[in-house]
Amino acid sequence: MIDRTCARTDNEYEWGVHVAFFAERAGLGAAEIEALAKGGWDDAVWTAAEQAILRLADELHDTAAISEAAWEDLRAHFDEAQVLELIALAGFYRTVAYYCNGLKLPLESYGAALPTA
């Protein structure tokens, strides 16, 4: 959720920090990192649960709402508290993007560059 929200908001500063520190620990390889930045929520590199998270991130970014189809996907994999946490993460990292992008924070020297479309 965090990396997808950073990618969708062009928040390279936060993307770079998270990918540099957590991608490997989370088991994300080059294909997943590329898909997070530029792929569709339904890309084949993702499990069904991961697709549900990315769909949620995309819908919240695009419409600030959640479709019934997305809710069905989420309910198949997560309980209510987990979904609420995902929504809160998306909102929090959108706010972080406002700060990072608004202040034009440069990418950290150790940060991963956000792949471009």
DSSP symbols for 35-46: HHHHS-TT-TTS
pLDDT of 62 above 90 = yes
∠ Cα 86 96 18 (to 5°) = 70
Residues 6+ apart with CB under 8 A from 116: 38
pLDDT of residue 41: 97
Residue 82: pLDDT above 90? yes
**Which pLDDT value is given to residue 47?**
97
- pTM confidence score: 0.94
Per-residue confidence band for 20, with pLDDT thresholds at 50, 70 and 90: very high
* pLDDT > 80? residue 24: yes
Mean of pLDDT values over 68-84:
98
pLDDT at 117: 59
Give the pLDDT of residue 116.
Answer: 79
Domains within the chain, CATH numbers bracketed? 2-102 (1.20.1290.10)
What DSSP line would sit under 61-89, residue for residue? HHHSS--HHHHHHHHHH--HHHHHHHHHH
